[in-house]
Amino acid sequence: MSTVFFASDLQGVAARYRTLWDRALAERPSAIFLGGDLLPVDLLHGTHNGDYEGDFIEDFLAGGFLTLHKAMGDQAPRVFLVPGNDDAAATMPAFERAASKGAWEPLHLLKAQLGQRPIYGYGCVPPSALALKDWERYDVSRYVDPGAISPEDGWRSVPMERHLVRYYTIHRDLDHLTGVDDLSDAILLFHTPPHDTLLDHAGLEGQQVDHVPMDTHVGSIAVRRLIERRQPWLTLHGHVQGSWRRTGSWKQKLGRTTMINAAHDGPQLALVRIDLDRPFDAERELIGV
């Protein structure tokens, strides 16, 4: 299988997407994975943003991928994506309409197949200090880290029944998503990284809330436990944009599993190229836009 592309946390910057499309047209990857935080932070209900005057999701974003598909014909990459915690759930109908036209394949809480490899997607993150809670879940229990806001507080762009907010966890969702499947050849596309790794360092050392130290690792315990226990072939992550700068690493192995975080805290497009047969040999390029 040819190389695949992975990018995350593009935050609605039009120039990053245009650069991604240009590279895809030139290099012809078999698939493109997008790990969430796809939209401008202040975008809601598909309205315009400062980078692009018009409907960002269905006009610019879907239009760009559909144009790429048309230009590449039978060689067009499949595009898999999950939402991130900055992507309001109210925008999901626009993503579904674009999916029905063939722009991409939404993967949150869904399973797909790429060649011989199963693919699973999940966009939620553990409780954070941000107010928007559409894609936040309790992790393995109803514990909330110091400085974070409970999923039962904050606000949601789409209402969710209170008992679901209170009792659904990332751990529960992942059990439901993967069941008893053999994950040894699987690719898992997440927004959150696994907890206490080189990929989830938030730079909170020495910070306290009410004299309680904050955990500088903000990834998901449930995701880490799944990786340790089930040992998937490859996991893809985003969300913690500066972790690579703090730890010096954007990829790591946990047992036989290769874990990659494509989130980047600079203005460039961080493009990760992955040979799915040798994922730990993946290369990352920071491309000026």
* 13-40 average pLDDT score: 97
Query: 4-287 adopts what CATH topology?
Result: Purple Acid Phosphatase; chain A, domain 2 (3.60.21)
What's the pLDDT score for residue 43? 66
Give the confidence band of 80 by pLDDT, cuts at 50, 70, 90: very high
Greater pLDDT, 185 or 212: 185
> What is the tens place of the pLDDT at every residue in 232-285?
999 999 999 999 999 999 999 999 999 999 999 999 999 999 999 999 999 999
What's the pLDDT score for residue 46? 45
| β-strand pairing of 111-114 with 208-209 | unpaired
Neighbours of 11 (CB within 10 A): 19
pTM for the complete prediction? Answer: 0.94
* 46-58 average pLDDT score: 68
* 59-64 average pLDDT score: 96
Return the exposure string of 88-116: e unless at least 16 CB atoms fall within 10 Å of the residue's CB, then b.
bbebbebbeebeeeebbbbbbeeebebee
Q: Does residue 115 carry a pLDDT above 90?
A: yes
Residue 50 CA from chain centroid, whole number: 23
For every residue of 162-221, DSSP letters joined together read HHHHHH-BHHHHHHHHHTT---TT-EEEESSPBSSSTT-B---TT-EETTEEPPSB-SBH
* 58-73 average pLDDT score: 97
What's the pLDDT score for residue 1? 53
Greater pLDDT, 202 or 249: 249
